[in-house]
Structure 1
Amino acid sequence: MSRATASPNQDRAPEVATERNDGAADTPTGGAAGSAPAAQGRGRYQLMVLAAVCCLALGGVFVRVSEVGPVASGAYRSLFAAPMLLGLSLAATRRSTTRRSTTRRSTTRRSTTRRSAAGKDKLPEHKPSEHKPARISTRDKWIIALGGLFLAGDLCLWNISFLYTSLAEANLLANLVPFIIAPLCFFLFGDRVTGKLVFPALLALGGLYVLVILGTGLDADHLRGDILALVTAVFYALFLVVAKGLRERHEATRIMASLSLVCALVCFAVAAVMGEKIWPTTLRGWLLLIGLAVTSQVLGQTLMAHAVKFLPLQLAALFVLLQPVAAAVYGFVLFDQHLSLVQMAGIAILLVSIFWAKNLLEGRK
């Protein structure tokens, strides 16, 4: 799916600013000198999020021009992304192990020096412990299979929706996840749902009516695409629930690599049953599929997951809402997809309702 799944951390932005201001308080101009680099850092992360949004919105473009069917395109997107994600996971594990080893050696040297200065015996040497990723249990393997099924359902329906509705509508409707996550967590985990969520939900229903009913004029094909994009949001919400549980026990990129492999297998099976063209016949066809995996599944997700850790949560959420806007630009420039004033009004209402709901679910008024 093209939506970012990482959890932004609002507290990290102040941390960055604090670290860059260390040592500047002793001079009269230290605060001003420290704030400039911090502002430049935030600007860099904002540009990173914007680039991520543009990459994520490219998914529909690649699906429309792909030589293979929409479901098969989703299969290759997940298949090609899996080894890339696994490589990122292995690299992160090596960096973490190296950092812990360096910290341990430094701490041991300081302790030894202090004890020697005090005339005590040298500390005994300890063999560094190996920090290996936690082994995936049989239960978690079944959960990964379930999550891969949900992710495959998400990709299959979403990619097919691009053939019937506009890129902007498909991206927007598939992002109505906040209104599905809340009741899901209530029924599955007993999480409390704020009553204030009713108001943005009613606003979202109004936006859906304006966009889907009034905006499409009940055109059968267009309506079919909008419905597929809406059902996509349900599958993606289910996937997020599964991924959240797995993420609490395992490293993110490792889990995403496993989920991507399961998703690819399911999508290939569905594409075969639907009789889609599965095998690209030209170099251009292969390059398009690689581009889909790199931009939407790896580059967009990675940039987003990294950048939102250093930005205020509200600002990151606003940037994420630009994805349907970027998709609308792609659709207009590349496929001559025009949006009527009624459709644009419906999109605006839905964007407001989604942002309102995200604020409530994240604990802000």
Structure 2
Amino acid sequence: MSAKNVSEIETLTERASTTPVEPEAAASAPEAAEAPASRGRGRYQAMVLFAVCCLALGGVFVRWSEAGPVATGAYRSLFAAPLLLGISLAMSRKSSPKRNGNENDAGADGVKTHRIGRRDQLLIALGGIFLAADLCLWNISFLYTSLAEANLLANLVPFIIAPLCFLLFGDRVPWRLVFPALLALAGLYVLVILGTGLDPDHLRGDLLALTTAVFYALFLVVAKGLRERYEATRIMAGLSLVCAVVCFAVAAVMGESVFPTSAKGWLVLVALAVTSQVLGQTLMAHAVKFLPLQLAAVFVLLQPVAAAVYGLFLFDQWLSLVQIAGIGVLLVSIYWAKHLLESRK
């Protein structure tokens, strides 16, 4: 989740477009509340930064894993599924006294808690397949391109999901999105064409990471519809389980090593699940609800920067000045596009 994760967070949690006021601040005078609110915002900013650092570790653990990259993604989703299911059951039990025994009443988050129908089960399977394709391609891309580029290119989701929502749901796409889109194309040219020197392996990794954004956008479109009818952790548990099964099947077909060969290998998989899936996703989903949209977007775009630092110190992945320039252009275009799309909410 991939900072590309911020799009998932925004879609699945439907976070508010303004910063909520802390309960203590609401109970006191505005002057007395200003300082606590400022301290609270600082706490959430630190939380987002920590979450970004955790999310950026995904590529590190994929490179360290004794299992293949696709199998590693399978374990990440598999370990997340029971956690998400447990959270969903806990939330369901907490809200059950308020439903007065009516299973079709809304749950704690305002969505219905009725049984998942056959059509939505098929949608969960489809969404899980899209998520698996995203994870497979992204994890493989780490083996060919730098951690920074893989994280950055997967963040181009806003340019893909906007036209998808227009085609499928008739959502209006702001015409001004053309300008950041053109800027993104320029950044892609600088980073992928000029920056790689058309090296076949490096180019392959960049294209895999770019295709990741397409499948992630498709996943978000499916998840968006499901999220309107069901509680988030409930559907994410099902999506994660389907994703894990598909990834294991793909890993077997590709002849990857599916099982780690040492205790260290298992610890790497557990660390991946804890940092990227549990700490990263959970803290990000919680903290961004208490920050202004533009500020949250800036923090989330620091994930490629964190990945670049990891790549430099852990794998000696130096970026050329041309690559840094392309990354800078892409970061500006993504932030610009997110600002245009979020201002319409």
The TM-score, its normalising length taken from structure 2, stands at 0.92
Q: Which residue of 1 aligns with 2:204?
A: 224
Q: Which residue of 2 aligns with 1:6?
A: 9
| Count of residues in correspondence between the two structures | 331
Does structure 1 retain, via aligned residues, the 8 Å contact 2:18–2:293? no
* Cα distance in structure 1, aligned partners of 2:21 and 2:316: 45
Does structure 2 retain, via aligned residues, the 8 Å contact 1:85–1:298? no
**Cα pair distance change 1:12/1:200, threshold 3 Å:** closer
RMSD: 1.7
**Residues 1:152 and 2:132 aligned together:** yes
Q: Which residue of 2 aligns with 1:122?
A: none
**Residues 1:21 and 2:25 aligned together:** yes
**Cα pair distance change 1:23/1:169, threshold 3 Å:** closer
Q: Deviations over 1:135-193 (max 9, x none)?
A: 11000000000000000000000000000000000000011000001111111112111
Counterpart of 2:179, as a letter, is F
Q: Which residue of 2 aligns with 1:110?
A: none
Counterpart of 1:143, as a letter, is L
Q: Which residue of 2 aligns with 1:76?
A: 75
Q: Percent identity?
A: 75
Q: Which residue of 2 aligns with 1:170?
A: 150
SS of the equivalent of 1:233 reads helix
* Cα distance in structure 1, aligned partners of 2:152 and 2:283: 20
**Residues 1:191 and 2:190 aligned together:** no
* Cα distance in structure 1, aligned partners of 2:196 and 2:156: 19
Does structure 1 retain, via aligned residues, the 8 Å contact 2:153–2:209? yes
Question: Structure 1 segments of 4 or more deviating over 6 A?
Answer: none
**Residues 1:275 and 2:275 aligned together:** no
Displacement of 1:12 after TM fit? 5.1
Counterpart of 1:6, as a letter, is I
Q: Deviations over 1:221-244 (max 9, x none)?
A: 000000000000000000000000
Does structure 2 retain, via aligned residues, the 8 Å contact 1:9–1:311? no
Q: Which runs of 5+ in 1 are unaligned?
A: 26-30, 102-127
Q: Deviations over 1:233-271 (max 9, x none)?
A: 000000000000000011101111100000011101110
Q: Which runs of 5+ in 2 are unaligned?
A: 108-112
Counterpart of 1:129, as a letter, is G
Does structure 2 retain, via aligned residues, the 8 Å contact 1:63–1:159? yes
Displacement of 1:22 after TM fit? 3.9
Which of 1 and 2 has greater Rg? 1
Q: Which residue of 2 aligns with 1:121?
A: none
Does structure 2 retain, via aligned residues, the 8 Å contact 1:82–1:258? yes
Does structure 2 retain, via aligned residues, the 8 Å contact 1:215–1:343? yes
Q: Which residue of 2 aligns with 1:120?
A: none
Displacement of 1:11 after TM fit? 4.6
